[in-house]
Amino acid sequence: MALSSKPVPQSTHSLTTTEAAVLALLAINGEQSGYDLLKAANASIGYLWAPAKSQLYAVLPRLVKEGTARRRRIVQERRPDKQLYGITKEGRRRLQTWLETIEPGAFDAFYLRLFVGGLSRPDVLLAHIEQFKEDVEGQLAEYRAVEQRNTRRGHDLFHHFLLRLGIDRAELSLRWAHETLAELRKATG
Amino acid sequence: MALSSKPVPQSTHSLTTTEAAVLALLAINGEQSGYDLLKAANASIGYLWAPAKSQLYAVLPRLVKEGTARRRRIVQERRPDKQLYGITKEGRRRLQTWLETIEPGAFDAFYLRLFVGGLSRPDVLLAHIEQFKEDVEGQLAEYRAVEQRNTRRGHDLFHHFLLRLGIDRAELSLRWAHETLAELRKATG
DNA sequence: GCTGGCATGTAACAAGTTACATGATTTT
DNA sequence: AAAATCATGTAACTTGTTACATGCCAGC
């Protein structure tokens, strides 16, 4: 009977990207329903993070269970009842930790952290952008090495097309990172 | 006993991206083991599509079950036994259909189709790139509209940073698409 | 003696998709 | 009369990750 073999109490573990995204929206926009969150997400962060309905409705109860969000039922007469979700103190604490965590190579998480940059101190954001630069530099070096070995004939021709796109994009990202570092420094002193 | 309630015979359905990627590698590099496929993927297509071991080993039997791949067991003396997978006629047929299918907005699938461009006729590839251009143009228009409403103050400052990146990237993608169309036309007459 | 390569998998998740299900109200 | 909005979910998948499990052989 290998029953109680570690149900894994990961409540103290780091947040997943999805959890962090939802908590950040709750922190910024206040108490909301799943429906509100979906609309808000589509209207702003949607380009970076667009959860499916079913996914969002699955995450919200998990947040409550983990103690990072609380639920409040609003009974309505002419509309279906609402479940309003708000972030808890524990949620804010866990979110801050997540926002300050530097994850090398995690581009999507970086974009998300920058999107909700208003929740972090400027120096934290500068460190994230520096890490992004390093990650992109590494990628760029790899792409250039592969491109040098590319013959441009047969299947290699198509790999060459995509490598060009990857290299150009990486160079663009580096320029963007420099500009953004400068703008952030100017804007925050 | 709700037993045989639609086991869903999706054998005639379109391939998933993962299935198409594996079949394309089998079509290009010939009969291989899961181990070989993982190495090959990491060494080339890995920038676009990098399956986890567990995922690949899950997909391969599915392909056999669907009739798009066949398995051949190689008994080895000094090494663990191998399962070699090869693409079937039906697999080639389904792969061709997938390669010719235009999926608006599916950027990852587009990159994959271009990566294995050697398996398609040039006119099919040109059509895919045209669709890519249209998709990026749509995105660009959206980003520009959002950017015009951006105040650059408070949370909007960070959205502005990311919008700049998105816009610059979209413009770059358009230039790349034009160049690639020209190069392809030149290379294939 | 240890590391790395060869070779195949399972388990347990998290992320994300489409389709299904319900039902009232408000706008076109 | 039809479509969109409000509001919450379930079901069934595919995708993708990390960790676990096994075991032999070659080279340092």
Chain B hits for A179, CB-CB cut-off 8 Å, are: 164
Are the C-beta atoms of B47 and B110 separated by less than 8 Å? no
Q: Note whether A157 contacts B44, CB cutoff 8 Å.
A: no
The low-confidence residues of chain A, meaning pLDDT below 50, are 1-11
CA of B112 to nearest chain A CA: how many angstroms apart?
A: 10
Q: Is B44 on the interface with A (CB under 8 A)?
A: yes
**pLDDT of amino acid B7:** 29
The residue of chain A nearest to residue B114, with distances taken between CA atoms, is A158
Q: Where are the beta strands (DSSP E) in chain A?
A: 69-74, 82-87
Q: Note whether B159 contacts A28, CB cutoff 8 Å.
A: no
CA of A165 to nearest chain B CA: how many angstroms apart?
A: 7
Q: Mean pLDDT, chain B, as a whole number?
A: 91
Q: How confident is the model at residue B139 (pLDDT cuts 50, 70, 90)?
A: very high
Q: Is A28 on the interface with B (CB under 8 A)?
A: yes
Are the C-beta atoms of A56 and A34 separated by less than 8 Å? yes
Q: pLDDT > 90: what percent of chain B?
A: 81
Q: Note whether B158 contacts A47, CB cutoff 8 Å.
A: no
Q: How far is the CA of B161 from the C1' of C26 (A)?
A: 39
Tokens at B76, concatenated: 């080895």
pLDDT, tens only, B25-36: 999 999 999 999
**pLDDT of amino acid B45:** 87
Question: Residue A75: which H helix or E strand, with range?
Answer: none
Average pLDDT over residues B67-86: 90
Q: How confident is the model at residue B5 (pLDDT cuts 50, 70, 90)?
A: very low
CA of A169 to nearest chain B CA: how many angstroms apart?
A: 7
Within 7 A of a protein CB, which nucleotides of strand D? 6-19, 23-26
Q: Note whether B168 contacts A155, CB cutoff 8 Å.
A: no
Chain B hits for A176, CB-CB cut-off 8 Å, are: 164-165, 168
Q: How confident is the model at residue B12 (pLDDT cuts 50, 70, 90)?
A: low
CA of B10 to nearest chain A CA: how many angstroms apart?
A: 23
**pLDDT of amino acid A8:** 33
Rounded to whole angstroms, how far apart are CA atoms B93 and A133? 44
Q: B34: exposed, middle or buried (C-beta count within 10 Å: 0-12, 13-18, 19+)?
A: buried
Tokens at B176, concatenated: 């790349």
Output the pTM of the full model. Answer: 0.91
Q: How confident is the model at residue B8 (pLDDT cuts 50, 70, 90)?
A: very low
Average pLDDT over residues B15-31: 96
**pLDDT of amino acid B10:** 40
**pLDDT of amino acid A1:** 33
**pLDDT of amino acid A96:** 97
Residues 135-154 of B with CB under 8 A from A: 143, 154
Separation of first and last alpha carbons in chain A: 62
Which of A161, A163, A167, A175 is best to mutate for the B interface (most B CBs within 10 A)?
Answer: A161
The residue of chain B nearest to residue A160, with distances taken between CA atoms, is B115
Which of B114, B144, B161 is best to mutate for the A interface (most A CBs within 10 A)?
Answer: B161
B43: pLDDT strictly greater than 80? yes
Helix residue ranges per DSSP H, A30-118: 34-43, 53-66, 89-100, 107-115
Chain A hits for B115, CB-CB cut-off 8 Å, are: 158-159, 162
